[in-house]
A and B are shown apart, each in its own frame.
Chain A
């Protein structure tokens, strides 16, 4: 891809790339703000940045992550996808700090798909992708080293040019200086010399006290592009000759295409073809046309017959009845301590919990542009698991993975959906391009309905919990049984030799509370309904059951929920610190007005612990408002506190929406919901005030994209249980007639 195309994809961004905005994003006095200024020069200008010239030499590119041009532009190559979590800003912060660059000279480009170079070390060898809230943790060392290496070379170049010892040279905000000789140079003036020096193997990293960007609130590099409509997503890609494809997908999971009649659709002006497609996940019919509206109208004219002999035909109630029956029998053991049969319990508390399938419903419905060429295939998409996308595309086309070029674009949200373990929507675009593209690029666009009914949901789960209480009122046994589909089974990502999918029981098998007798087991029913990780994965359900059941134990033993947790968390200092911080900041234990209550929950995932105390007001018999969420967070050192807070706010919003009204149900196997009118998500009026307090820590950073989500549902349920006297055990709460203002 040449620079012009690169510019077109919009993969390079920086606040400063818009002339009207300075780094903090405030308009310079008197500057105009017009379309011409914003859309035109920005993206093209950026792509030409960071290069060397014949006169100056360079660029300086010691390694794969940073490149400094004669024009002083520091280009960060991001191996993680920007799906909203702020990772372009985070990776740049690590590099720019060690480099002592000025924040305004940094731009970001998406890495090409090249797992050997841009693989995610947390995913094992040669796996390029973004997920598991690990992007900062897995880049903490590598990106700082990349910045320090470039800095070392610039200093060495200056030392050579100025004939001074390297140790006497300082670097600050993009300027290299020697005080004694009164010399200074911008990076760009040194890259020619620096690029010719040997790249050092070991570089000195900064003393944290010297950080200039890490731990500060660097402005997001994508703030301007995303506030002016200039950020480019897959949906915005338009290539010469490109066709837009819409699909007719099977009405039930496991149904296959029998035949179709597209005569009327093909006769419509602007329709180029109607074709059958097939890939490893499903088959169907695609309409290819000059634009979306034409394709969508033509789609309504196609008559399709399906073979539903192997299709899934259960309804949700029947599915849960089967799950309940399974839960009556012992499952495969996931964790055991002591012996729950010999705990000395004199009484038991029991409860069962139901969790529906959840659609990710990211704001940008799924899409992908595929162009099959003589040399391979080029993709443009908000790719989140490039290795899988390359491999699946290659398998479908009978080519090598390295012949699949991926232009990773901004994703309009994901919550996990774009890192599909079977690359379903990428395969679909490629399969359609193969069947009907005729060498032209094809943009597959799913409607909201296609997206919502397209499967790969957070699996539905049924849990039972049983706690044993001894004569003194102490918790002496804990049994947790889970029933739900595996996410990893049947994908290349299932760890070999494991009896159970660890994602099914995470958050339950490792529950932190000190109970002497513990048994966690799991049933893994199979189903053609496709499932996938959804922001915080297993913890989306295990935290709810664990944390709301613990409150049931607290009520049954007349203990304060925070006190009970404290007493059981002595071996988990991070949990305690997060819990204590949240409880203190929320004023736990102080009186509230009548009709209001607090609820608490604490949960660890992806290496971080988040505790939340919520305040809920009862507005009417079955109507509530979540007023405030106070969070205590332990996530190691914060690279960007503002983005940490943003991620916790975001996770609370997504998790609260799911808890109060989110759910995919099936009727005779067909997905009932189709759009936001019947799959309600959290809206502005329902968003609580959020306070994020972070435990000061010098530890390595841990995850923050997901850990804010698991506690919100149970914390709200715990508050409501106090107000109504009725615990909410079935998700979403709307199924019990409970609504939220």
Chain B
């Protein structure tokens, strides 16, 4: 049994310790907002926060995660930054197919949590690991700026 601290709750799983967090979240804990896109840290669809840092959960075995705070899209809105980011995403009509957007929002929230006024270069650096095949990038950029303004 592994005990994980997910969204402020202690959750137990009997998944084998080498299982990536992504699959424990999705298949064992029924938190399906975090998505599977590539399985090799290439696309960002599986991004969650580990102790506040944007992290690809598809390559992160649960064995090393006991005692760490895990936040997923399901609860990112509980904090002011995540909430502002989600509001901005909705206001800008960012999502198209929407499949990448949980990961985009998690990356954007981590960016804004550490950088209140990101420049375009900061946004590129923080978001280039998150692929959007619908290419909603123009609106992602606009939404990050909108959220930054709302939080200022």
CB distance from B136 to the nearest CB of A (A): 7
Main secondary structure of the interface of B (DSSP, over half): loop
Inter-subunit contact B97/A83 (CB<8 Å): yes
Residue of B nearest to A679 (CB): B42
- Could you say which of A50-58, A129-137, A139-147, A216-224 contacts chain B? A216-224
Is B34 part of the binding interface, using a Cβ–Cβ cutoff of 8 Å?
A: yes
- The 8 A CB mask of A212-237 against B (1 = contact, 0 = none) is 00000001101111111111110110
Q: Which residues of A contact B19 (CB under 8 A)?
A: 293
Q: Which residues of B contact A685 (CB under 8 A)?
A: 124, 128
Q: Which residues of A contact B37 (CB under 8 A)?
A: 363-365, 448
Residue of B nearest to A445 (CB): B36
Q: Which residues of B contact A229 (CB under 8 A)?
A: 32-34, 72-74, 102
User: Given that A448-B40, A657-B135 are known contacts, is A227 also in contact with B94, CB under 8 Å in the complex?
Assistant: yes
Inter-subunit contact A690/B39 (CB<8 Å): no
Inter-subunit contact A227/B90 (CB<8 Å): yes
- The 8 A CB mask of A668-690 against B (1 = contact, 0 = none) is 00000001110001111101011
CB distance from A13 to the nearest CB of B (A): 10
Q: Which residues of B contact A683 (CB under 8 A)?
A: 128-129, 131, 137
Residue of A nearest to B141 (CB): A684
Inter-subunit contact B73/A235 (CB<8 Å): no
Q: Which residues of A contact B115 (CB under 8 A)?
A: none
Is A410 part of the binding interface, using a Cβ–Cβ cutoff of 8 Å?
A: yes
Inter-subunit contact A293/B134 (CB<8 Å): no
Is A652 part of the binding interface, using a Cβ–Cβ cutoff of 8 Å?
A: yes
Q: How far is the CA of A410 from the CA of B36 in the complex (A)?
A: 15
Q: Which of A25, A35, A83, A219 is the one whose CB lies under 8 Å from B75? A: A35
Is A552 part of the binding interface, using a Cβ–Cβ cutoff of 8 Å?
A: no
Q: How many A-B residue pairs have CB under 8 A?
A: 203
Q: How far is the CA of A608 from the CA of B83 in the complex (A)?
A: 39
CB distance from B131 to the nearest CB of A (A): 6
Is A488 part of the binding interface, using a Cβ–Cβ cutoff of 8 Å?
A: no
Q: How far is the CA of A12 from the CA of B104 in the complex (A)?
A: 24
Inter-subunit contact B74/A35 (CB<8 Å): yes
Inter-subunit contact A649/B139 (CB<8 Å): yes
Is A411 part of the binding interface, using a Cβ–Cβ cutoff of 8 Å?
A: yes
Q: How far is the CA of A652 from the CA of B21 in the complex (A)?
A: 34
Q: How far is the CA of A680 from the CA of B93 in the complex (A)?
A: 26
Is B113 part of the binding interface, using a Cβ–Cβ cutoff of 8 Å?
A: no
User: Given that A228-B73, A292-B23 are known contacts, is A362 also in contact with B90, CB under 8 Å in the complex?
Assistant: no
Residue of A nearest to B135 (CB): A653
Q: Which residues of A contact B43 (CB under 8 A)?
A: 363, 448, 676
Inter-subunit contact A293/B15 (CB<8 Å): yes
Is A614 part of the binding interface, using a Cβ–Cβ cutoff of 8 Å?
A: no
CB distance from B133 to the nearest CB of A (A): 5
- The 8 A CB mask of A597-635 against B (1 = contact, 0 = none) is 000000000000000000000000000000000000000
Is B152 part of the binding interface, using a Cβ–Cβ cutoff of 8 Å?
A: no
Is B5 part of the binding interface, using a Cβ–Cβ cutoff of 8 Å?
A: no
Q: Which of B36, B72, B93, B105 is the one whose CB lies under 8 Å from A220? A: B93
Q: How far is the CA of A654 from the CA of B33 in the complex (A)?
A: 24
Residue of A nearest to B85 (CB): A227
Interface of chain B residues 15 through 57 with chain A (CB within 8 A): 15-16, 19-20, 23, 26-28, 30, 32-40, 42-43, 45
Q: Which residues of A contact B132 (CB under 8 A)?
A: 363, 653, 684
Residue of A nearest to B101 (CB): A226
CB distance from B3 to the nearest CB of A (A): 19
- Could you say which of A26-34, A259-267, A298-306, A460-468 contacts chain B? A26-34
Interface of chain B residues 94 through 135 with chain A (CB within 8 A): 94-102, 105, 123-124, 127-135
Residue of B nearest to A35 (CB): B74
Residue of B nearest to A367 (CB): B36
User: Given that A363-B133, A448-B37 are known contacts, is A35 also in contact with B94, CB under 8 Å in the complex?
Assistant: no
Inter-subunit contact A24/B137 (CB<8 Å): no
CB distance from A352 to the nearest CB of B (A): 29
Q: Which residues of A contact B123 (CB under 8 A)?
A: 684
Interface of chain A residues 52 through 88 with chain B (CB within 8 A): 83-86
Q: Which of B72, B89, B99, B140 is the one whose CB lies under 8 Å from A363? A: B99
Interface of chain A residues 230 through 271 with chain B (CB within 8 A): 230-233, 235-236, 238, 244
Residue of B nearest to A230 (CB): B33
Residue of A nearest to B93 (CB): A220
Q: Which of A222, A411, A650 is the one whose CB lies under 8 Å from B136? A: A650
Given A33-B86, A84-B96: 14 more A-B contacts, CB < 8 Å: A26-B87, A84-B97, A220-B95, A226-B97, A233-B35, A235-B32, A236-B26, A293-B16, A363-B100, A415-B133, A650-B136, A682-B135, A684-B141, A687-B138
15 A-B pairs with C-beta separation under 8 A: A35-B7, A219-B90, A223-B94, A226-B98, A227-B89, A229-B34, A291-B15, A291-B23, A293-B19, A361-B133, A364-B97, A412-B97, A448-B42, A676-B40, A687-B135
Residues in chain A within 8 A of chain B (CB atoms): 15, 21, 24-27, 33-35, 38-39, 83-86, 219-220, 222-233, 235-236, 238, 244, 291-293, 361-365, 410-415, 445, 447-448, 642-643, 646, 649-654, 657, 675-677, 681-685, 687, 689-690
